[in-house]
Structure 1
Amino acid sequence: MRKIFLVLVFAVLFTGCEEEEEALKFSNYAVEKSYEACNPEEGNCTFISVNYPVAEGKTEAAKRINQEITNHIIEVVDYRDEKKIESVESLADRFIKNFEDTANDFPEQNIPWEASVLGEISLRTEELISFRFNSEIFTGGAHGYSSVSFLNFNSETGALYSHEELFTSAFKDFFEEKFREDQNIPQDEPINSNGLFFEDDQFVLPQNIGFTQDELVLHYNAYEISSYADGNIIYRFPYAEVEEFLKVGLQEIPVE
């Protein structure tokens, strides 16, 4: 009887481990809200639309990924607000409320606001899940702001990868050389010698580096290192050109 009991215990533990290690699954999630139920497709409408993948299940990896994505979307849309927001739903409510308050305080500037964030998995491998976010925000002023951002997660733990965990130290030197050649900046000249805005005149990798099926993408958004008029500065490298600098494997698995 004791042997049967122990066998059952180990079977339960083993099943639990299998569930914990089961590959993450993702489903699409959308939050949309408009001011006074206007229709964004008809124009002259203040609205917010957020659409992105969420990890299913209650594993720690799923929780980490979902929380990081939520924090990222909130920062993209509401980067100037000091009040704490904990969900995308609350973000949508705040966006509409901020517009309403602004319209009441400055009726002469009652121009509709818009916020759109579209997230997708751009690459999923045994070691990496890379998310890409396209964002367009307009809250008045001369023009809106569009940006592209990436989040790269450890497939097993759900933790965000740092650049140091993704690339060898030699990658920065490799990319800086390519960057200088493309921007016509001599190797012995300061990186800002042609009018760029690198902080302290020190070259840095872009904050947003992402992975697709075919290439590595390095994306400086407008304003990050140059004027708005210069637009985004983007570099793409086939994996064959940069594989020696990668610390993670890129053996792709099907996206679910």
Structure 2
Amino acid sequence: MSFSILLFSCVEDVNISFEEVYISSENRIEINIPKAKGNKTIVEVINTDIETAVARELYIGSADSESPKTINESINLFNEEFHVFKTDFPESEQIWEAQIDGEVLFQSPEIISVSITSYVNTGGAHGILNITFLNFESTTGKQIPNKNLFTDSDSLKEIVKKHVIEATRKKDIVFEPENFQLPQNIGYTEDGVIFLYNTFQIGPYSSGIIEFTIPFEEIKSYLVFNSTN
């Protein structure tokens, strides 16, 4: 009994909430992201990981170079690259822009799922749209690797594969089951677990993003974290 009371007390003490943070800069940079509030030890871990993810999305340097860790660093680098571009091509009317939006998809005493959607255009034929899911332990703030979300990833893959086949069929995409992998982006929502493949991860650019939600009831036996919020 005493252990149960202690556990309940710890969960209550976590009490993590979120507020929206807006950041803007030249070159049409706009960032709207959630910022965790509450237990200092926990929220520092969550906010650091969210900031790192946003900084990585805004970074346009070499893939071989280490991306900046803070949003301000990434904004400064973005603007510096634009000024270099304008120096090299002064007659160009190309406008650079970046829009990054964050959203808390799901929150329970066990897990918090956050989505980061970014659109960055630096003058190509089209901008780059990318979505990233981050999952955190509510009691520690530590990020949860996808492999730790499920008790049996191999069996789960067979269920997810059926949904991928249906999603690609609707978009008339040639799907190769023998090369199937779970997506990099998996998160909790109110309706179930969402699985998302960004552009090019399954089909060509024209196919866009492929996503679908599997109800908790369908895969509850594979879930490590409780879906009750």
Normalised by the length of structure 2, the TM-score is 0.83
Equivalent position SS for 1:171: helix
- Cα 1:110/1:104, change in 2 over 3 Å: farther
Do structure 1's residue 23 and structure 2's residue 15 form an aligned pair?
yes
Task: Look up the match of 1:167.
Answer: 150
Do structure 1's residue 53 and structure 2's residue 38 form an aligned pair?
no
Q: Which amino acid aligns with 1:23?
A: N
* C-alpha separation in 2, matches of 1:20 and 1:63: 18
Give the structure with higher Rg (CA): 1
* C-alpha separation in 1, matches of 2:67 and 2:164: 38
Task: Look up the match of 2:124.
Answer: 141
Counterpart of 1:227 (choices 204, 208, 212) is 204
* C-alpha separation in 1, matches of 2:186 and 2:227: 15
What is the aligned length?
A: 215
Task: Give the CA deviation at 1:112.
Answer: 0.6
Query: Please, which runs of 5 or more residues in structure 1 have no aligned partner?
Result: 1-13, 35-45, 185-192
* C-alpha separation in 2, matches of 1:140 and 1:61: 39
Q: Which amino acid aligns with 1:194?
A: V
- Cα 1:61/1:230, change in 2 over 3 Å: same
Equivalent position SS for 1:218: strand
Normalised by the length of structure 1, the TM-score is 0.75
Task: Give the CA deviation at 1:109.
Answer: 3.3
Question: What do residues 88-145 of structure 1 show as CA deviations (whole Å, max 9, x unaligned)?
Answer: 1222222122111111112243401110111011110110101012211101111111
* C-alpha separation in 2, matches of 1:48 and 1:141: 17
Q: Over aligned residue pairs, what C-alpha RMSD do you find?
A: 2.6
State whether residues 33 and 93 of structure 1, in contact with CA within 8 Å, keep that contact through their aligned partners in structure 2.
no
State whether residues 127 and 154 of structure 1, in contact with CA within 8 Å, keep that contact through their aligned partners in structure 2.
yes
Task: Look up the match of 2:80.
Answer: 97
* C-alpha separation in 2, matches of 1:83 and 1:205: 26
Identity of aligned residues (%): 28
Query: Please, which runs of 5 or more residues in structure 2 have no aligned partner?
Result: 1-5
- Cα 1:151/1:79, change in 2 over 3 Å: farther
